[in-house]
Amino acid sequence: MSFARFTVRFAGPLVTFQDRGRPGHKRFGVSASGPMDRLAHAAANVALGQLAGATAIEVSMGGIVLACTEGAVSLAVAGGEFGIDLAGSGPEGWAVLTIEAGQTLTLRPGRAGSWCYIAFAGELQCGHWLGHAATHSTSGLGGGALVTGQELEVANTRTCPDREGPIAQPAFARFDGTARVVMGPQDDLFDAAARTALTTETFQLTDAFDRMGVRLDGPRLSIGGALSIPSEPVARGSIQVAGDGVATVLLADHQTTGGYPKIATVIGPDQDGLAQLRARDALRFKAITPAEAVAAARTHAAARVAWLAEIATPRGTLMERLMRENLVDGVVRADSDS
């Protein structure tokens, strides 16, 4: 069996193992966890020919330095615009690379983005809880957080020269700073000024930002009456408002129930882009109807499937690619001699 080993030379806070998430246990207080940017996580996996939901490393803005101590394996880096350095050279943007013993991979936050994923062509070894590696950050349940000095192993490794090179970023999912929301479920508890402010004013993310959620700066959203609600289930994407009128958007490791009223909920397709913003970035909200939200989710799901299929297709080895380029204008089509 082929394998590769790594030493974590450095890991910042909130660098965790994440598979696609652990749905089905919210009734027991367990949020699904999984990636903060689900599309980038899937992209890193499928670019290597892995299942979209396989276990990868979620890297926060704290960054990571991984030294390969044994073996060789292809890996994919996707999510945000992080700076990548492999053995002294750095590809621009998302990419599939191959690392071998003696080389070091460093990821640091670049121009934009809060979360980046490293997937491996093989099986990244880590602990599981309830059948999933997804890490619930506040409890540490699941694969857990990576810490400086830790050893990592990837089993059943492959190197994939036919997949090396840049990964195209998903144009269909480009986030323009405006998150679509469905108002409610408690928008009627807020006064009219608060409801208007939510969708007309600009908010800013604060640095109270972790895997549970992000607190926003912006207009105070005052609650009309002195109403409180019995604790109720909350969804990822909920914009909950505390007694002081400050809004928090709940993210991957959100509490599963809570008593704060929710003025609106960010739709799934816009949660990845929102999570990639950074503290002090501007954020606006646009209200859409539930039917429009369903339509948006279906459009997004179809585009996601098509795009993942595209980047999952090996592009060929460098020699094959050169051959194909040379043949594009020729008589023989590249796909007829494969």
Partner 1 sequence: MTALPRFTPVAEHALLVQLAEEVGDRAARAVLALDKALADRPPEGLVEVVPALVNLLVEFDPVVTDHADMQAAVAALLDHAPDHAPEVATHDVAVCYDPDLGPDLAAVARATGQSEEAVIAAHLGGGYRVGMYGFAPGYAYLTGLDPALHVPRKPTALRDVPAGSVIIAGPQCLVTTLKMPTGWSILGSSPARILTGDPSRPFLFNVGDHVRFTRIDRAAFEAMGGAPA
Candidates 2, 139, 156, 200: give the one binding partner 1 (CB under 8 A).
139
Q: Tell me the C-alpha distance between 233 and 58, whole Å.
A: 27
Q: Give the contacts of 162 (CB within 8 A, at least 6 positions apart).
A: 314, 315, 316, 317, 320
Binds partner 1 (CB under 8 A): choice among 75, 124, 250, 267: 267
Applying CB under 8 A, which part among 36-44, 242-250, 287-295, 315-323 lies near partner 1? Answer: 287-295
Our finding on whether 184 is near partner 1 (CB under 8 A) is yes
Biggest distance spanned by C-alpha atoms of the chain: 77
> Is 78 within 8 Å of 167 (Cβ atoms)?
yes
Tell me the CB-side half-sphere exposure of residue 203, using CA atoms within 13 A. Answer: 29
Q: Residue 249 is which amino acid? A: V
Q: Pick the binder of partner 1 from 88, 111, 131, 330 (CB under 8 A).
A: 131
Choices 24-32, 44-52, 91-99, 108-116; region in contact with partner 1 by CB under 8 A: 24-32
Among 13, 29, 102, 127, binds partner 1 (CB under 8 A): 29
Cα–Cα distance for residue pair 39/31, rounded to 1 Å? 19
Minimum CB–partner distance for residue 297 and partner 1 (Å): 4
Among 5, 9, 26, 215, binds partner 1 (CB under 8 A): 26
Question: Is residue 266 near partner 1 by the rule CB under 8 A?
Answer: yes
Is residue 163 at the binding interface for partner 1, with CB under 8 A as the rule? Answer: no
Handedness of CA 108, 110, 114, 116 (dihedral sign): negative
Strand bridging mode 238-241 / 262-266: antiparallel
- CA 36 to chain CA mean position, Å: 4
- Return the range that interacts with partner 1 (CB under 8 A); candidates 69-77, 113-121, 241-249, 250-258: 250-258
* 265 contacts partner 1 (rule: CB under 8 A): yes
Instruction: Map the footprint of partner 1 across residues 216-245, applying CB under 8 A.
Output: 230-235, 237-238
Going 311 to 316 to 318 to 323, the CA torsion angle's sign is: negative
Single out the residue of 13, 100, 127, 138 in contact with partner 1 (rule: CB under 8 A): 138
Residues 123, 70, 104, 14, CA torsion sign: positive
Minimum CB separation of residue 102 from partner 1 in Å reads 39
141 near partner 1 (CB under 8 A) = yes
Among 87, 208, 246, 296, interactor with partner 1 by CB under 8 A: 296
Distance CA 227, CA 189 (A): 7
* 186: three-class secondary structure by DSSP: coil
Residue ranges in contact with partner 1 by CB under 8 A: 23-30, 130-131, 136, 138-139, 141, 181-182, 184-185, 230-235, 237-238, 255-258, 265-269, 290-291, 293-294, 296-298, 301
